[in-house]
C-alpha cells in the first residue's frame, strides 16, 4: 500500500526550485507563490509591496488583543472585491449614509 502525505500549499500558484533559479524576478508578484522541491513546499516568494503590506498588517495585529482570520483571496479576487467596493461607494446615496449613521450611535 502506497501512503502519500498531503502537504498544504498556501498559494494559488506554484513554481519549482529549478524554474525559480532560471528567472527569479518574474516570481516577485503581488501574491504569494509556493516554491516546491520534490513536490513539497519549501518556501514562498512574494514581491516587496506585498511583503511590506503583510508586515504592516502583522504589526497592526500585534497591537490588538486578538485576531482571527482565514480569508486568503487571490490577487485577482482582491481586485474584484476592490472594484465592487469602489462601485458601491460611488453609488451610495445620502439616505444610505444617514442609515449608517443611525447604526453607529
Residues 6+ apart with CB under 8 A from 15: 27, 33, 34, 35, 36, 45
Residues 6+ apart with CB under 8 A from 30: 46, 47, 49, 50, 75
Q: What is the pLDDT of residues 68-99, one digit of tens each?
A: 666 677 888 888 888 888 888 888 788 777 77
Q: What is the pLDDT of residues 10-68, one digit of tens each?
A: 888 999 999 999 999 999 998 999 999 998 999 999 999 999 988 888 887 777 656 56
Nearest alpha carbon to residue 7 among 28, 37, 27 = 37
Q: How confident is the model at residue 105 (pLDDT cuts 50, 70, 90)?
A: low
The residues facing 43 across adjacent strands are: 35
C-alpha cell at 90: 460611488
Domain extents for the chain? 1-72, 73-105
Tell me how far apart the alpha carbons of residues 13 and 46 are, in angstroms, rounded to a whole number.
11
C-alpha cell at 28: 516577485
Amino acid at each position: 500500500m502506497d501512503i502519500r502525505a498531503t502537504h498544504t500549499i498556501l498559494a494559488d500558484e506554484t513554481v519549482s526550485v529549478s524554474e525559480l533559479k532560471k528567472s527569479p524576478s518574474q516570481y516577485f508578484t503581488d501574491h504569494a507563490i509556493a516554491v516546491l522541491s520534490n513536490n513539497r513546499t519549501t518556501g514562498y516568494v512574494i514581491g516587496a509591496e506585498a511583503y511590506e503590506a503583510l508586515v504592516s498588517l502583522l504589526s497592526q495585529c500585534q497591537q490588538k488583543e486578538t485576531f482571527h482570520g482565514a480569508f486568503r483571496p487571490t490577487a485577482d479576487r482582491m481586485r474584484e472585491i476592490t472594484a465592487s467596493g469602489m462601485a458601491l461607494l460611488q453609488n451610495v446615496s445620502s439616505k444610505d449614509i444617514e442609515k449608517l449613521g443611525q447604526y453607529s450611535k
